[in-house]
């Protein structure tokens, strides 16, 4: 644990230096970080209750009051009683505050664009995907999110295709031929699946789609697990395990003797899920697909065990 704590602290020091939040004024403006963040939040809405702003920023009531007082003195915000509840106070940006927000927003966009422009396309994809993972893990640290599995409905099938294409391009650099393969699998399922022996699931976390999996017929004795996907923001919640377990349970109830799946060795997270579920690697073969040299793997699970 001490080594991990030190690693996180080192990353925090590196990143705060990289984006310049320790400078006297953020983005070359007169506003320090917290004041700039208040302007950013208020810039997204017409007005906001002070209590809502405090919850969103997670800052002390007195500290926020002092920040708002400074911004009001500078002519950037106005404060008044809520028309719906006189006990509450609402705050809004003035015309001057809107100009300050636009300046901050434009400079932030330019600075972030400059940071990304120094990276090649694959590095940009990896950076954004890694940030999604960090945000997802840390946002769950204080609140476990409920995972719900449901059958797909209209709109979900297009999402399955689109998210496979996007995520595999971002994380592995796979080209559009992979998305085309997913589209064919989904189209075949929608056109001709038998609900007695085939099924699919969409996972939701906090009401948002977070993953999917399909169980399809390989032959009378063998079911095939296909299109397992977990959104980066939902990884670590057990979504993948829940989806695979649902697939296995359905295959058993449908009378299959064995379940198989085909994957690639670069998909390490998925392989760990399959191993935990009891799948065994039975075959490997090199191939060139999706714009890359890959090693395909076949895994199997005896359902009668």
The pLDDT tens digits along the chain (305 residues) read: 777 878 878 877 777 777 666 565 566 677 777 788 888 888 888 888 887 888 777 777 778 888 888 888 889 888 888 776 667 788 888 999 899 888 888 888 888 888 888 889 888 888 888 888 887 777 665 555 678 999 999 999 999 999 999 999 999 999 999 999 999 999 999 999 999 999 999 999 888 899 999 999 999 999 999 999 999 888 888 899 999 999 999 999 999 999 999 999 999 889 999 999 999 999 999 999 999 999 999 999 999 75
The structure tokens listed for 120 are 């090649």
Domain at 147-302: CATH code = 3.40.630.30
Whole-number Cα distances in Å, 154 to 16, 112, 138, 254: 43, 37, 32, 25
Q: Do domains 2-117 and 147-302 have the same CATH topology?
A: no
Structural domain boundaries in the chain: 2-117, 147-302
Q: Is the pTM of this model over 0.85?
A: no
Instruction: Give CA angle at 194 (188, 200), nearest 5°.
Output: 70
Q: What DSSP character marks residue 281?
A: E
Q: Which residues contact 204 (CB under 8 A, 6 or more apart)?
A: 147, 148, 149, 150, 210
**What whole-number distance in Å separates Cα of residue 3 and Cα of residue 123?**
26
In the chain, DSSP assigns E strands to: 48-49, 77-81, 89-93, 147-150, 199-205, 208-217, 222-230, 258-264, 280-289, 292-302
The structure tokens listed for 93 are 């940006």
Domain 2-117 has CATH 3.40.50.720: no
Decide: helix, strand or coil at residue 79: strand
Using CA of residue 162, residue 164, residue 167, residue 169, what is the dihedral sign?
negative
Q: Which residues contact 51 (CB under 8 A, 6 or more apart)?
A: 88
């Amino acid at each position: 644990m001490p080594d991990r704590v030190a690693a996180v602290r080192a990353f925090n020091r590196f990143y705060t230096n990289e984006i310049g939040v320790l400078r006297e004024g953020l983005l070359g403006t007169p506003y320090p970080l917290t004041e700039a963040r208040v302007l950013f939040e208020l810039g997204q809405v017409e007005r906001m209750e002070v209590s809502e702003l405090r919850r969103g920023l997670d800052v002390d009531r007195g500290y926020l009051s002092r920040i708002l007082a400074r911004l009001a003195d500078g002519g950037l915000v106005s404060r008044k009683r809520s028309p719906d509840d006189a006990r509450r106070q609402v705050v809004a940006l003035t015309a001057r505050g809107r100009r300050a927000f636009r300046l901050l927003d434009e400079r932030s966009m330019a600075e972030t664009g400059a940071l990304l422009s120094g990276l090649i396309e694959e590095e940009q994809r990896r950076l954004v995907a890694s940030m999604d993972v960090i945000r997802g893990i840390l946002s769950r640290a204080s609140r476990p999110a409920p995972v719900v599995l449901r059958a797909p409905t209209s709109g979900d099938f297009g999402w399955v295709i689109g998210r496979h294409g996007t995520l595999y391009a971002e994380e592995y650099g796979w080209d559009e031929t992979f998305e085309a393969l997913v589209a064919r699998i989904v189209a075949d399922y929608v056109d001709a699946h038998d609900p007695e022996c085939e099924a699919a699931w969409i996972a939701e976390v906090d009401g948002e789609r977070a993953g999917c999996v399909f169980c399809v017929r390989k032959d009378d004795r063998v079911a095939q697990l296909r299109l397992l996907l977990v959104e980066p923001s939902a990884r670590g919640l057990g979504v993948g395990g829940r989806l695979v377990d649902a697939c296995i349970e359905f295959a058993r109830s449908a009378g299959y003797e064995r379940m198989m799946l085909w994957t690639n060795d670069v998909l390490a997270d998925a392989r760990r899920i399959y191993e935990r579920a009891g799948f065994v690697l039975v075959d490997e073969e090199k191939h060139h697909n999706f714009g890359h040299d890959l090693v395909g793997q076949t895994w199997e699970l005896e359902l009668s065990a």
